[in-house]
Amino acid sequence: MRKTMLLLPLLGVVTAGVQADENESGFALGIGVASEDSIYKGVGTETEALPFISYENGIFYIQGPEAGYYFIDNDDFKIGALARYRTDGYKASDSSDLKGMDERKGAFELGITASYDTDYGEWSATFASDASSEHEGNEIELGWEKRFPVSAKWSVTPEASVSYRSDDLNNYYYGVKTSEATVNRAAYTADADTVYEIGISAMYQIDQQQMIRMGASYTSYGDEIADSSIVEDDKSTSVSLLYMYRF
């Protein structure tokens, strides 16, 4: 349901290795595999392989389902606009517990992002709002990550984020309309809430063109999401693997 988004943190740090110089364009293609324990009832663990594209020329970038343009780029400080596709959602056929639910689709979002690179890591803030009239909500996310070189080929990057999701966003993906309610599935309206995530990834630089990045993360969902009658857990774990080839 959201494997593309799970691979984005891996792809973002890989992009830093794709671009050799701030005035030089970098282009890479790759394949990623992600596996996540879904919090939706009856869905279980989902695993999917996805192709990826990465491009950056200093002020413009493409990272899988996200593209952005930096209109302020002062060394360690950046502010830019972004467009992305949110891959959250489900179909009624995903599990017997979701039978009778209307499909919840992904959404095209527009927003603004800022980052500040310090000796203590890179700090980021992102605001994104639905531009496709699907969930009609928005999300604010604060993030941190820091890359630690281990050797000439290996590096490790811990990361953490907290996101505030609006009531419209949460209710679209986790609410249950009266027409969808059953004896075993109560109608439910979700309000705004917070999602926390921590993770760690490791990158191996095979050579100048090839790299592999592995990651694992843990996500904790607020009560407004966890209390939904179609949700069975307030936490999930995920693992992912990404191979990229730089041209």
Tell me the average pLDDT across 213-219.
Answer: 97
Measured CA to CA, the distance from residue 157 to residue 146 in angstroms comes to 5
- Confidence class for position 9, pLDDT limits 50, 70, 90: low
Q: What is the DSSP string of 211-240?
A: EEEEEEEEEEE-HHHHTSTTB--SEEEEEE
Quick one: pLDDT at residue 8?
Answer: 55
Tell me the average pLDDT across 207-236.
Answer: 96
Tell me the average pLDDT across 118-130.
Answer: 97
Tell me the average pLDDT across 114-123.
Answer: 96
pLDDT tens profile 61-82: 999 899 999 999 988 999 999 9
- Max CA-CA distance within the chain? 61
Quick one: pLDDT at residue 7?
Answer: 54
Residues 6+ apart with CB under 8 A from 174: 188, 190, 224, 225, 228, 230, 231
> Pairing mode, if any, of strands 138-145 and 154-165?
antiparallel
Count of C-beta atoms within a 10 Å radius of residue 18 = 24
pLDDT tens profile 149-159: 999 999 999 99
Quick one: pLDDT at residue 163?
Answer: 98
Tell me the two tokens of residue 25: 């364009």
The pTM of this model reads 0.89
> Pairing mode, if any, of strands 138-145 and 45-56?
unpaired
- Confidence class for position 58, pLDDT limits 50, 70, 90: confident
Quick one: pLDDT at residue 225?
Answer: 98
pLDDT tens profile 128-138: 999 999 999 99
Tell me the average pLDDT across 101-123.
Answer: 97
Contact 156, 200 (CB under 8 A): yes
Quick one: pLDDT at residue 194?
Answer: 98
Beta strands in the chain (DSSP E): 26-37, 45-56, 60-63, 66-74, 77-86, 107-118, 121-130, 138-145, 148-149, 154-165, 193-205, 210-221, 235-246
Q: Which of 229, 213, 237 is nearest to 45 (CA)?
A: 237
Contact 200, 155 (CB under 8 A): no
Residue 4 predicted with pLDDT over 90: no
- Confidence class for position 50, pLDDT limits 50, 70, 90: confident
Measured CA to CA, the distance from residue 113 to residue 118 in angstroms comes to 17
Residue 20 predicted with pLDDT over 80: no
Percent of the chain with pLDDT over 90: 85
pLDDT tens profile 176-194: 999 999 999 999 999 999 9
